[in-house]
Amino acid sequence: MNLAPAGVSLGGAVIGSIILILVLQRWWLKGSKGKGKGDDGGGGRSLKALIPFALGTLYGMLIILCAGGIVAAIAGFALWGANGLGDMALIWGVGGEAPMVSRARQIALTNGGYAIVLIATALIGGAWRWSKKFPRLQVALGVLCGICLGLNGGVAGMMALPLANTVNIAGGWWTGTIL
């Protein structure tokens, strides 16, 4: 049973881009240049402050590439919601249209790649549950951003190609199936 979403609409890609831009804007404006923390304790303008969001985005791109299962169903539901919200904003908000903007060919994960996605899911779930310093909102926004942009046919979606290949290679190494 294939639970993967059919693709991302322009509205879903806009929602992912809005999340990305707002996170970067907040990082830039709230971070203090030269100090360790911003006005709200956000970590300053250090690039280290963006690591949780970036890792969440990469993870979101990975789970949207999954072909089935519960993880793909959750990612598909999130993408469906983002597509719908973005499409409504484009059509009713500014009078535009919302065509599909998915790339022409889906990137496939191997069985080893799926194993790495499952391990990453367990690690994120464990950190979410047991870590007192885990940046939940940054990671959650990153995951949603990655889900929205992972199937995109543009530049952001092209990040999924080397990511999927890297995960497939790591999975092949981990399962011992690399030839």
Spell out the per-residue pLDDT of the chain, length 179, in tens: 444 456 888 999 999 999 999 999 999 988 766 555 544 444 557 888 899 999 999 999 999 888 778 888 889 899 999 999 999 999 999 999 988 888 766 677 889 999 999 999 999 999 999 988 889 999 999 999 999 998 888 766 788 788 988 999 999 998 887 65
The helix (run of H) or strand (run of E) holding residue 117 is helix 111-130
Q: Which amino acid would we find at residue 153?
A: G
Give first-to-last CA distance, the chain, whole Å.
Answer: 30
Both tokens of residue 122? 């367990």
Closest CA to 83 of 98, 103, 62, 63: 98
Closest CA to 3 of 60, 76, 55: 76
Closest CA to 44 of 24, 22, 28, 55: 28
Give the domain ranges of the chain. 10-30+49-175
Spatial distance between the Cα atoms of 131 and 95, rounded to a whole number of angstroms:
44
Phi, psi values for residue 110, rounded to 5° = -85, 175
pTM of the model: 0.84
Spatial distance between the Cα atoms of 46 and 124, rounded to a whole number of angstroms:
23
Spatial distance between the Cα atoms of 163 and 159, rounded to a whole number of angstroms:
6
